[in-house]
């Protein structure tokens, strides 16, 4: 048996051992995960910048098409077209506060991936677990297509396609397809597909679950089949454009971009883009015939097509905006799918918060009023009314509150503030507020980023595996 | 001062300290060596194959455009477009014989480059020094454009442009422009430009020195100037073709090549090439409108243009064959320049040995008769008569013999045999005799070679330097 296959089988066994109490067997899903003939085809790459510590360590792993930035160690793992973006890891001597605790980092934080398989997964941010501040670990974990592991140490877990764990430590959990979990610390949970759960113990608890039949049209997962649905088709149809950017060692600059903005070399930029200042366009973003207003960002795996972003807009990892006009400061969370049509344009008012994993798929024009909080599945005005609330009203909620399939408990003002603070933080670290040499963020710093490649064995038993590689300054 | 400059200055000082007894100052030559803006432009690359041990270690070095194969360590060094080809290094448990001594290797041999600067230099073969069988070292050494360090451990030495040290351990020596030295062990020697010296202590001693004025037309070196002359111009005129092969991450296959032959991905192959079986075409070879007969090879930095090679021809590192017809088994040594013209074709008979560093530059057709031994500068039939001897006659020489500027002493048969044995060995290791799965050499094994890249820092004080990188299986 080839080394790649052995390694994969071993990872599947390890995840299954961890998930045994849930009686969850990842094998049938894992089967279709790695096109083994692709594993030797794609190079992996890493960023070098004067702004982030460099320490990469790859050991007995396959890394096809994956990207690394910052301090990362990958051992006995399979990463396929995954982005391991350690540009927000904590630094040595940095003082960290968690609630009433304060801690000084005695070394730079490291992303440590071991015995895991990640497919088209985004790993970003830093360990929000105060118990392991120096290590953002992902072990014995299998993450499927377009999942996000964001600031979330994971141990022995499974993430279905388009699943997101955000600022959450997770042990022995299975996160269903298109579920979004932000819940501090969870263990031994089997989360059903289409669950949107934002929980801050003692403060607030937000819960929504997609109707299964409706969600299935967008993304479905069955044993022994690759994931399918509208979301998958949407991405597949645009795959060929990514091919081009990865095929060339040196690609010509495509569009004029202001000096305060940065356009990643592995982003797809199709004609008629207007990009203003302080804009960050990340790896594998896809931009076409749109305008990105000042201080906007287009994060990894996002798509922005035939749309306008007024300014200071966050388009989070994996979010898709099509035929839409986004008001100033409007935020679109992870993996959301805003799917206007030529004949049915979507307008999102200023200051709106589109929750992660929201689907807006309309056949008639629709307008989300300014300063609204929006979630779940919205296909018309009635569903918008059911799945949104003004931020003003959200701020007044205390105790239990239900609306449609959404249930809320706690202090609405705290939820509102948590989102607003976070959006402002995201804009800040991305360099949206850069002014006169002050407040530089990723948008400015990434201009000093260069991308280097590493490649796998092409022959023999080790085909598709990478040599052991250690890179440091 | 930037790190690259500091490193370069330090190497120059180290070489000068070593060469102090010769009163040789490399600084004025070194000045023009490294176009510092190029050092960050070019990636370096390394070969991965199932046939050669992999262990690469790069530390505090700049490697722009260089190539590595086999076990290599590079520390505190500057390598510019150099080929460090460790595919003939000795292996663990291999039994080595030197004269009456026999030794078993207790580990794989390593090419170890330290505190050295190599420009467009070829490092190949293995340490022929029985005193350091496990380490082919190059330290405190500065080697200029198109020099060859072939099986020759070097310490504290300078090699001028197109200089070759072959199977020779060298300490504190300066080797002049276009000189070829094969002399076992030398130290504290200042070798004048255009010296061809093949010495086997107690067996034979061959010596030729180019007329200085004539050599200057082909390649000249002066303090504070880049080398110039016909040889340099010849290469510069063809530079643009190499640009193309290095610009693309994946280059399409250019010509049909038999399954038993291999064409390196970084060779230039222009139209109208015919390549037969068991042929090896190496890195940076340049082929145009020529035929390579069965079992021929075109080694690093060689050029074969408008020529035919009948079969089993060696075109050694840096040799150039233009408008020539090479008979079966004809050998062309390092850096030789066979420069026929359209109106003045060169024919070289079968079995001829063209010594390393031979220049044949004719304006009228010329034929080298079969089975002849040829050296030095030849521009017409009279100079051919002066600078050649039949192999039959060579075999009968005993004691002292002079012809033109060539002086010989010793046993001609031993010199003849040394060359014949070596040519047969070169053909063998290159896979010329591959038959039915037996006697595979580089030509066959290189089909299982893949090339990976590494890249330098692009910004800041470390610009042009490479991160520390360690790569092993």
Contact yes or no for A448 and B454 at CB 8 A: no
- Asked if residue B461 has pLDDT above 80, the reply is yes
Look up tokens 């690609």; give the residue: A251
The alpha carbon of residue A82 is apart from the nearest alpha carbon of chain B, in Å, by 20
Q: Is the dihedral of CA A69, A75, A81, A84 positive or negative?
A: negative
Contact yes or no for B470 and A470 at CB 8 A: yes
Contact yes or no for A50 and B249 at CB 8 A: no
Instruction: Return mean pLDDT, chain A.
Output: 94
Tell me: do A68 and A199 sit in the same domain: yes
**Which residue out of B46, B250, B449, B465 would a mutagenesis test of the A interface target, given it has the greatest number of A Cβ atoms within 10 Å?**
B250
Task: List, in order, residues 6 or more apart from B347 with CB less than 8 Å away.
Answer: B324, B325, B327, B365, B366, B367, B368
Asked if A162 and A319 touch (Cβ cutoff 8 Å), the reply is no
Contact yes or no for A462 and B473 at CB 8 A: yes
Average pLDDT over residues B123-128: 96
HSE-up of residue B135 (Cα within 13 Å, Cβ side): 12
Task: List, in order, residues 6 or more apart from A101 with CB less than 8 Å away.
Answer: A130
A243 domain-assigned? yes
Report chain A's C-alpha Rg in angstroms. Answer: 21
Tell me: do B292 and B182 sit in the same domain: no
Expressed as residue numbers, the domain containing A176 is 3-232+449-471
Position B60 confidence tier, pLDDT thresholds 50, 70, 90: very high
A37 domain-assigned? yes
**Out of B48, B459, B469, whose CB is closest to A448?**
B459
| E-only strand ranges, A146-302 | 148-150, 154-155, 158-159, 164-166, 168-171, 174-175, 180-182, 184-187, 190-191, 195-200, 204-209, 262-263, 268-269, 274-275, 280-281, 286-288, 291-292, 297-298
Tell me: do B287 and B318 sit in the same domain: yes
- Asked if residue B247 has pLDDT above 80, the reply is no
Position A248 confidence tier, pLDDT thresholds 50, 70, 90: low
| Chain A positions in Cβ-Cβ contact with residue B467 (cut-off 8 Å) | 48, 54, 471-473
**pLDDT score of A251:** 47
* Residue B34 main-chain phi, psi, to 5 deg: -115, 110
Contact yes or no for A452 and B448 at CB 8 A: no
The alpha carbon of residue B298 is apart from the nearest alpha carbon of chain A, in Å, by 24
**pLDDT score of A63:** 97
Asked if B359 and B383 touch (Cβ cutoff 8 Å), the reply is no
Position A451 confidence tier, pLDDT thresholds 50, 70, 90: confident
**pLDDT score of A253:** 52
Q: How many residues does chain A have?
A: 473
B340-368 per-position pLDDT tens digit: 999 999 999 999 999 999 999 999 999 99
Look up tokens 């243009």; give the residue: B305
Look up tokens 């000093």; give the residue: A448
Buried b (16+ CB within 10 A) or exposed e, A276-310: bbbbbbbbbbbbbebbbbbbbbbbbbbbbbbbbbb
Contact yes or no for A469 and B471 at CB 8 A: yes
Tell me: do A227 and A243 sit in the same domain: no
B377 domain-assigned? yes
Tell me: do A157 and A59 sit in the same domain: yes
pTM: 0.86
**Out of B249, B453, B460, whose CB is closest to A50?**
B460
Average pLDDT over residues B185-198: 97
**pLDDT score of A81:** 94
Task: Compute the distance between CA of residue B317 and CA of residue A157 in angstroms, rounded to an integer.
Answer: 56
Contact yes or no for A472 and B473 at CB 8 A: no
**pLDDT score of A265:** 84
The alpha carbon of residue B114 is apart from the nearest alpha carbon of chain A, in Å, by 18
Q: Which residue has the higher pLDDT, B380 or A34?
A: B380
A442 domain-assigned? no
Contact yes or no for A467 and B471 at CB 8 A: yes
CA dihedral B260→B261→B266→B271, nearest 10 degrees, is -130
Which residues are paired to A390 by β-bridges? A372
B407 domain-assigned? no
A404 domain-assigned? no
Measured at the alpha carbon of residue B152, what is the angle toward residues B146 and B156, in degrees to the nearest 5?
80
| Chain A positions in Cβ-Cβ contact with residue B466 (cut-off 8 Å) | none
From residue B4, give the alpha-carbon distance in Å to each of A120, A407, B31, B37, B448. Answer: 38, 62, 13, 11, 35
The alpha carbon of residue B168 is apart from the nearest alpha carbon of chain A, in Å, by 34
**Out of B454, B458, B473, whose CB is closest to A450?**
B458
Position B251 confidence tier, pLDDT thresholds 50, 70, 90: very low
Contact yes or no for A467 and B469 at CB 8 A: no
**pLDDT score of B361:** 98
Contact yes or no for B467 and A472 at CB 8 A: yes
| Chain A positions in Cβ-Cβ contact with residue B245 (cut-off 8 Å) | none
A vs B, Cβ pairs < 8 A, gives 79
Task: Compute the distance between CA of residue A103 and CA of residue A94 in angstroms, rounded to an integer.
Answer: 8
For chain A, the straight-line distance linking the first and the last C-alpha, in angstroms and rounded, comes to 37
| Chain A positions in Cβ-Cβ contact with residue B250 (cut-off 8 Å) | 247
B233 domain-assigned? no
Position B242 confidence tier, pLDDT thresholds 50, 70, 90: confident
A51-66 per-position pLDDT tens digit: 889 999 999 999 999 9
The alpha carbon of residue A71 is apart from the nearest alpha carbon of chain B, in Å, by 14
- Asked if residue A439 has pLDDT above 80, the reply is yes
CB-count burial class (<10 Å; 0-12, 13-18, 19+) for B351: middle
| E-only strand ranges, A33-86 | 44-48, 55-59, 67-69, 71-75, 78-80, 83-85
Tell me: do B165 and B187 sit in the same domain: yes
- Residue A442's H or E segment, with its range, is helix A442-445
Tell me: do B442 and B463 sit in the same domain: no
Tell me: do A223 and A274 sit in the same domain: no
**pLDDT score of B248:** 59
Tell me: do A102 and A217 sit in the same domain: yes
Distance of CA A251 to the CA centre of its chain: 25
B76-99 per-position pLDDT tens digit: 999 999 999 999 999 999 999 988
Q: Which two tokens stand for residue A54?
A: 């460099």
CATH number for position B76:
2.160.10.10
| Chain A positions in Cβ-Cβ contact with residue B450 (cut-off 8 Å) | 455, 457-459
From residue A422, give the alpha-carbon distance in Å to each of A136, A409, B470. Answer: 20, 20, 39
Task: Compute the distance between CA of residue A18 and CA of residue B234 in angstroms, rounded to an integer.
Answer: 66
Task: Compute the distance between CA of residue B338 and CA of residue B346 in angstroms, rounded to an integer.
Answer: 8
Task: List, in order, residues 6 or more apart from A248 with CB less than 8 Å away.
Answer: B248, B249
**Which residue out of A64, A262, A454 would a mutagenesis test of the B interface target, given it has the greatest number of B Cβ atoms within 10 Å?**
A454
| Chain A positions in Cβ-Cβ contact with residue B471 (cut-off 8 Å) | 467-469
Tell me: do A72 and A201 sit in the same domain: yes
Task: List, in order, residues 6 or more apart from B364 with CB less than 8 Å away.
Answer: B344, B380, B381
- Among the listed residues B206, B203, B208, B207, the one whose alpha carbon sits nearest the alpha carbon of residue B411: B203
A294-339 per-position pLDDT tens digit: 999 999 999 999 999 999 999 999 999 999 999 999 999 999 999 9
| Chain A positions in Cβ-Cβ contact with residue B473 (cut-off 8 Å) | 462, 467-468
- Percent of chain B residues topping a pLDDT of 90: 85
- Among the listed residues A156, A470, A196, the one whose alpha carbon sits nearest the alpha carbon of residue A333: A196
Contact yes or no for A458 and B450 at CB 8 A: yes
A443 domain-assigned? no
Task: Provide the domain count of chain B.
Answer: 2
Tell me: do B90 and B44 sit in the same domain: yes
| Chain A positions in Cβ-Cβ contact with residue B472 (cut-off 8 Å) | 467-468
Instruction: Return mean pLDDT, chain B.
Output: 94
Tell me: do A134 and A199 sit in the same domain: yes
Look up tokens 């060359």; give the residue: B419
A390-400 per-position pLDDT tens digit: 999 999 999 99
Contact yes or no for B468 and A469 at CB 8 A: no
Average pLDDT over residues B296-305: 96
- Among the listed residues B276, B272, B248, the one whose alpha carbon sits nearest the alpha carbon of residue B263: B276
Look up tokens 């064995």; give the residue: A457
Report chain B's C-alpha Rg in angstroms. Answer: 21
């Amino acid at each position: 048996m080839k080394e790649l296959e052995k390694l994969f089988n071993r990872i599947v066994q390890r995840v299954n051992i961890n998930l045994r109490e849930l009686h969850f067997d990842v094998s049938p899903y894992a089967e279709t995960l790695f096109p083994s003939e692709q594993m030797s085809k794609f190079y992996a790459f890493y960023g070098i910048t004067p702004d982030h510590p460099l320490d990469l360590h790859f050991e007995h792993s396959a890394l096809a098409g994956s990207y690394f930035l910052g301090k990362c160690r990958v051992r006995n793992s399979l990463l396929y077209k995954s982005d391991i973006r350690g540009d927000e890891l904590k630094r040595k001597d940095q003082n960290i506060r968690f609630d009433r605790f304060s801690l000084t980092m005695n070394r730079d934080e490291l992303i440590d991936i071991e015995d895991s398989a990640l497919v088209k997964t985004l790993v970003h941010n830093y360990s929000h677990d105060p118990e392991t501040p120096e290590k953002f670990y992902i072990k014995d974990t299998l993450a499927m297509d377009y999942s996000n592991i964001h600031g979330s140490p994971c141990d022995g877990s499974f993430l279905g396609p388009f699943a997101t764990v955000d600022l959450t430590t997770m042990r022995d959990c299975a996160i269903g397809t298109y579920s979004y979990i932000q819940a501090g610390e969870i263990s031994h949970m089997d989360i059903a597909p289409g669950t949107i759960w934002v929980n801050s113990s003692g403060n607030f608890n937000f819960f929504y679950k997609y109707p299964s039949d409706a969600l299935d049209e967008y993304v479905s997962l069955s044993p022994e089949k690759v994931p399918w649905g509208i979301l998958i088709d949407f991405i597949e149809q645009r795959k060929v454009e990514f091919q081009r950017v990865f095929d060339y060692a040196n690609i010509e600059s495509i569009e004029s971009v202001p000096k305060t903005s940065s356009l990643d070399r592995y982003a797809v930029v199709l004609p008629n883009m207007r990009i203003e200042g302080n804009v960050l366009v990340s790896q594998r973003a896809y931009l076409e015939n749109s305008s990105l207003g000042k201080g906007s960002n287009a994060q990894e795996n996002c798509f922005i097509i035939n749309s306008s972003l007024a300014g200071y807009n966050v388009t989070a990892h994996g979010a898709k905006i099509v035929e839409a006009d986004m008001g100033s400061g409007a935020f679109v969370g992870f993996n959301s799918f805003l799917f206007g049509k030529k004949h049915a344009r979507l307008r999102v008012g200023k200051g709106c918060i589109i929750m992660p994993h929201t689907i807006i798929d309309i056949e008639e024009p629709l307008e989300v009023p300014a300063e609204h909080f929006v979630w779940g599945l919205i296909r018309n005005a009635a569903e918008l009314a059911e799945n949104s609330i003004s931020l003003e009203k959200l701020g007044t909620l205390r105790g239990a509150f239900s609306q449609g399939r959404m249930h809320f408990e706690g202090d609405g003002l705290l939820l509102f503030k948590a989102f607003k603070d976070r959006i402002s933080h995201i804009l800040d670290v991305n360099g949206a507020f850069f002014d006169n040499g002050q407040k530089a963020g990723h948008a400015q710093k990434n201009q000093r980023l260069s991308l280097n490649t590493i490649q796998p064995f092409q022959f023999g038993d080790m085909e598709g595996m990478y040599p052991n590689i250690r890179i440091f300054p």
